[in-house]
């Protein structure tokens, strides 16, 4: 009888006294698509961090830029704060910028970055630069957590073009912000509280230009397993032509 008490105290200590601490489980896939010669996308799927990056600047710059962003953010993020994740994105910007300026053949390289990290507080930190996206699937509906930094997205936000005009707009792929193209960068960041059963979808434009948001929601409603869900999304984009590299991270939050 006396043994029960120490055992239960020991268990409390092992979980840090925070039995409600959420966890993040990720499944990721990146696919070259059907029309590109290189895959310039990169993904991160770690227990507390999901990210996608979409490189630009042609071979080999695009691949180097997106891989650098993914690697640097992954190594810098410990879960302490949104500021930490934002600082990691800024540091990646500086590193890519320095290499683009000094290494032959890498001029003009850059990358998007969209990252979602689970904080020690139990909330999610979201950072974004460029036109990769994070969505939250909660209670049967899909909500976008990030704003695209592209010319068409800015025009859309200012009400100067319609959603329909944006789809075929000649400047839809031109970014207004990216990592590595200037010595400093403005990084969007926010913190979201989580609920049990929340699911995140991070993706590059190779997914969302082929697959409508309603269809992403439909896959989330159908595929209860994150590994199956990420495959369904990539296969759907490929079935529509797969004109670009396609990257997806699907992550489940458990509290
Ligand atoms: Mn792309």
pLDDT of residue 8: 42
172: CA distance to ligand 1 center in Å?
11
56: CA distance to ligand 1 center in Å?
8
177: CA distance to ligand 1 center in Å?
14
Q: Decide: 50 and 249 in contact? Cβ < 8 Å.
A: yes
Residue for token digits 């950072």?
A: 127
Q: Decide: 249 and 201 in contact? Cβ < 8 Å.
A: yes
Calpha distance 86→126 (Å, rounded): 9
124: CA distance to ligand 1 center in Å?
25
149: CA distance to ligand 1 center in Å?
13
- What is the radius of gyration, based on Cα positions, of the chain? 19
pLDDT of residue 21: 86
Calpha distance 132→50 (Å, rounded): 12
Calpha distance 127→83 (Å, rounded): 10
Contacts of 7 (CB under 8 A, 6+ apart): none
End-to-end CA, the chain: 31
pLDDT of residue 106: 96
Would you put residue 81 in left (φ > 0), alpha (ψ -120 to 50) or beta? beta
208: CA distance to ligand 1 center in Å?
10
- Overall size of the chain counted in residues: 255
pLDDT of residue 102: 96
pLDDT of residue 7: 44
- Cis ω for the linkage preceding 60 (within 30 of 0): yes
Calpha distance 150→147 (Å, rounded): 9
With a cut of 70, list the residues of the chain below it in pLDDT. 1-19
194: CA distance to ligand 1 center in Å?
29
242: CA distance to ligand 1 center in Å?
10
Q: Name beta bridge partners: 189.
A: 127
- 94 SS3 class: helix
129: CA distance to ligand 1 center in Å?
13
39: CA distance to ligand 1 center in Å?
9
168: CA distance to ligand 1 center in Å?
16
pLDDT of residue 176: 96
pTM of the predicted model over 0.85: yes
CA atoms within 13 A on the CB side of 129: 28
Q: For the packed helices 82-102 and 61-76, what is the interaxial angle rounded to 10 degrees?
A: 150
195: CA distance to ligand 1 center in Å?
30
Calpha distance 26→47 (Å, rounded): 7
pLDDT of residue 19: 59
What residues have a C-beta under 5 A from ligand 1, the ion? 54, 204-206, 244
């Amino acid at each position: 009888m006396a043994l029960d008490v120490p055992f239960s105290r020991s268990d409390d200590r092992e979980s840090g006294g925070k039995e409600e601490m959420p966890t993040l489980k990720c499944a990721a896939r990146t696919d070259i698509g059907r029309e590109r010669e290189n895959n310039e996308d990169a993904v991160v799927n770690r227990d507390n961090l999901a990210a996608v990056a979409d490189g630009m600047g042609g071979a080999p710059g695009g691949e180097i830029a997106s891989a650098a962003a993914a690697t640097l953010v992954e190594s810098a993020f410990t879960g302490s704060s949104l500021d930490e994740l934002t600082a990691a994105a800024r540091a990646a910007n500086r590193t890519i910028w320095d290499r683009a300026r000094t290494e032959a053949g890498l001029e003009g390289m850059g990358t998007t970055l969209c990252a979602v990290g689970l904080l020690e507080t139990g909330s999610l930190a979201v950072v974004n630069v460029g036109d990769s996206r994070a969505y939250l699937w909660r209670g049967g509906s899909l909500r976008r957590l990030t704003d695209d930094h592209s010319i068409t997205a800015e025009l859309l936000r200012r009400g100067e073009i319609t959603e329909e005009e944006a789809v075929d707009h000649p400047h839809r792929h031109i970014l207004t912000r990216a990592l590595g193209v200037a010595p400093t960068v403005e990084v969007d960041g926010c913190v979201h509280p989580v609920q049990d059963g929340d699911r995140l979808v991070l993706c590059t434009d190779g997914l969302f230009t082929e697959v409508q948001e309603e269809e992403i929601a439909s896959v989330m409603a159908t595929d209860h397993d994150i590994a199956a869900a990420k495959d369904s999304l990539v296969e759907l984009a490929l079935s529509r032509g797969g004109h670009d590299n396609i990257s997806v991270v699907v992550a489940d939050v458990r509290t």
